[in-house]
Structure 1
């Protein structure tokens, strides 16, 4: 099979497209002919060897990155029922588990069968990014009279948060970087869409809301943008953080929260895992929402051989939605 291998930490050019032996499924496992593989910001930190941005120890090289795959079961390990053969599936492989490849193996209990109406690319977006979006929404506990501000609203999670909030009857402000992304946010249903790379964007939000105040912020950017979003919150507002793509978490003090009776929460892995039904329940719900068409993930695709270009585009904030590799 063909796969991406990382032999040396560094730039995206270090991701090499190589021949590897076909994997063999073990007991209780299936082999998947991969039709789509997910790319995550963690993968770019892994490629660079940036230990401070990894939620796990830096692994020994060489490795094949990749956390999510979707495709068709083409091989069965010992003890696996024949009915799995030929089934369309999607799965989350874990933190570093060889998803950037033409073939992958996984235990049957970690698989999700896909309806014909759901594309492989959409399934990839929902099994990881979708579960996170639903977990973040659970933490926020939206009410119909809320006004929600989403930073990085053209990203994989951001586009889903905009749609889900609108589905819940909430007024949504989407902040994204650049005219193309702002247009995408608007097309997802945001009532207000602004470019947060422009000076004075927070004043644009205040003017557009016409006296209404932001009551919930979903922030995955941090830094100056996150701080500006925090300062837009009205009395009693909630600040929900689930990342900091700027490299720095949004800074605030207890006095900042006390001044406007704000609450803040980190909606990250351990917190999301405690949602009723756990991570698998969130994945099932996310896939079902996509199959019904109530949530439509945004996707940017690259050929598998161009994984380095995909990483560079993701880090450079040139992509919209979930980045997916196609073997």
Structure 2
């Protein structure tokens, strides 16, 4: 099979498209003929040799990638043969191996893909979607809510915008540049604003006509987060799930005591509940998409162009979830 391999930590150019041996499923595993593989900002940090929130750096050489969708083409001992031919999507956890034409995963991880989703959309929901469904558990959204969403053209921002609008909230979607702002408006935001303009907070205040924001969904940090938090009224909440504007390797989130709450990790899993909280969130995300309430934004690259996908992601030149297609 063909796969993307990383032999040395460093720039995107270190990702090479190579022919490697086909993986074989072991006992209790299935093999997926990959049709779409997700690319995450964390992948770019790991490629550089910075582990970020990952428990450890991968052992080199490695095939990066932790989210795949495709068709089961082989099973290991102890797995029902009925799996073969099913359209599935799976999150591999922190085990690498997704940027490839074939990937192996424990049989307890895959979900069948709803009919209305293609492979790339399913990948977006299994990773980005499950995170978004965890984040919304921290906010009681309704018609009285005013939600500010920085990076609203991104993968998570797109889904948060749709979810909040479906709940009846007023949504202020922030994005950088006219093209992304247009996408945010088309996605259903009540107001789409270019946060690269110095007067964007004044635009928001004027549009709200005296109303204050009730929640900020912040995956960006930095100056955008500071200005967004200043729009909150008494009792408003700043839900932090990243700081991409500061760089995943450096800096940190913008936090205000008594206002900000970091929502990833154990707190999110506790709210998800169930014997397998991550699977609970994955099922929620796939169900929302299957029923038409959520529609992920996807930007596709050929598998062989993984380096270009990484560069685009690092320079904020992407819209929605970045996906590689073999």
Aligned to 2:229: 230
Q: How far did 1:253 drift? A: 4.4
* Structure 1 unaligned blocks of 5 or more: 258-262
Alignment of 1:295-314 (within 5 A): 295-314=294-313
Aligned counterparts of 1:325 and 1:270: Cα–Cα separation in 2: 30
Aligned to 2:185: 186
Aligned to 2:261: 265
After superposing on structure 2, the runs of 4+ consecutive aligned residues of structure 1 that deviate more than 3 Å are 248-254
Secondary structure, aligned partner of 1:110: coil
* Aligned 8 A contact 2:156 2:320 in 1: yes
Aligned to 2:252: 249
* Aligned 8 A contact 1:272 1:279 in 2: no
* Aligned 8 A contact 1:151 1:174 in 2: yes
Cα deviation 1:242-294 (Å, max 9, x = unaligned): 0000223343443xx4xxxxx32111122222222311111011111111211
Aligned to 1:260: none
Aligned to 2:273: 276
Aligned counterparts of 1:110 and 1:103: Cα–Cα separation in 2: 16
Cα deviation 1:87-120 (Å, max 9, x = unaligned): 1000000124210000001111111011332110
* Aligned 8 A contact 1:221 1:249 in 2: no
Cα deviation 1:291-327 (Å, max 9, x = unaligned): 1211000000000000000000011111111000000
RMSD: 1.2
Cα deviation 1:194-244 (Å, max 9, x = unaligned): 011111211111111111111100000001111111111111101100000
Pairing 1:11–2:14 present = no
TM-score (norm 1): 0.95
> Do the aligned partners of residues 107 and 121 (structure 1) sit closer, same or farther apart at CA in structure 2, a change above 3 Å counting?
same
Alignment of 1:170-209 (within 5 A): 170-209=169-208
Aligned to 2:137: 138
Alignment of 1:1-327 (within 5 A): 1-51=1-51, 53-247=52-246, 248-254=251-257, 257=258, 263-274=259-270, 275-277=272-274, 278-327=277-326
Aligned counterparts of 1:10 and 1:118: Cα–Cα separation in 2: 35
